[in-house]
Amino acid sequence: MKKKYRTKTVLTAWIFILPFFVLFTIFVIYPIIQGVWVSLNDWSLMGRTGFVGVANYGKMFRDKNFWAAFRNTCIFVVFSVPFIVLLGLAMALLANRKVRMRKFLRIAYYVPGVLSVSVASFVAKYSFAPYRGLVNGILKSMGLMSTSNEILWFEDTKLAWCAIVLMTVWWTVGFPMLLYLSALQDISPDVLEAAKVDGAGSAQCLFQITLPLIKNTIFLVILLEVMASFKVFGQIYNITKGGPANTTRPLVMYVYQQAFDKNKLGYAASISYFLFAIIVICTVIQLKLQKEGD
């Protein structure tokens, strides 16, 4: 009887798992395997023209444009991830306070995140535009910029990166804020009250109680943001098209150009798997650091 029940349970489980497993295999596992095969061939939009082995990977490591795009991606990761992680945490701490504006703050922080990348990029592009842009107008009104001058945000590499990073932070910080907020609400108020009774100040409660208790959430946010930042494409494509002079072109945009502008799908696939390997390495390192910290 017990064996019959166990068999029935296993069959029931497989009935529920099988549809997901089939779809996952068709839309995830098979494309990954097919992508590896494409990277080993000279492949165009018309199909396979010949097997080249690892020649595409060798070409990739000799390609100066590839390394420039990879450097640009790393620049974006280095500047955007800490900004989003820390600002999201600060916003969550503010939204978790027992004040009248608490619900409004939570909604206001998250609203930009519901916009599509096209809409968010459109807003950023015209906010940083010269002569009629919101950012230049604010700087002029505050006396930080002469009324006779205009900052051309997208004509200078450093300023273009500033605009892209600020737009990305504004657009995406709402989701990390929600993750932090959820973790903060799981902390029992009794723990903080007991610490205050024992004489702990606000700073001690934050750094010795709150942050250690949400440490796993902080690691999760860092992991998600690193992965997302390495895959950046939409906002840069819509705002600068990789300019000026390809100095803001990320790796994913270079993959797109190689595949669909230059009709080199095999070479584009090899770059994609290099990026995949980088993301996997970063993920493993971070998980190892998190495990050691625990």
Q: Which two tokens stand for residue 257?
A: 């150009």
**At 77, is the pLDDT very low, low, confident or very high (cuts 50, 70, 90)?**
very high
Predicted local confidence at residue 7, as pLDDT: 80
Reported as a single tens digit per residue, the pLDDT across 152-199 is 888 888 999 999 999 999 999 989 999 998 888 888 877 777 777 777
Half-sphere exposure of 288 (CA within 13 A, CB side): 6
Domain ranges of the chain: 28-62+264-294
| Burial of 63: CB neighbours in 10 Å, binned 0-12, 13-18, 19+ | middle
Q: Which two tokens stand for residue 280?
A: 């996997």
Nearest Cα neighbor of 45 from 290, 275, 260, 277 is 260
pTM, entire model: 0.87
Q: Counting Cβ atoms within 10 Å, is residue 143 exposed (0-12), middle (13-18) or buried (19+)?
A: exposed
- Tens of pLDDT, residues 81-106: 999 999 999 988 888 887 777 788 78
Report whether 42 contacts 48 (CB < 8 A): yes
Rounded distance between C-alpha atoms, residue 102 and residue 85, angstroms: 20
Nearest by Cα to 91 from 205, 207, 169: 169
Q: Where are the alpha helices (DSSP H) in 96-214?
A: 102-110, 117-127, 134-141, 157-172, 174-185, 189-197, 202-205, 211-213
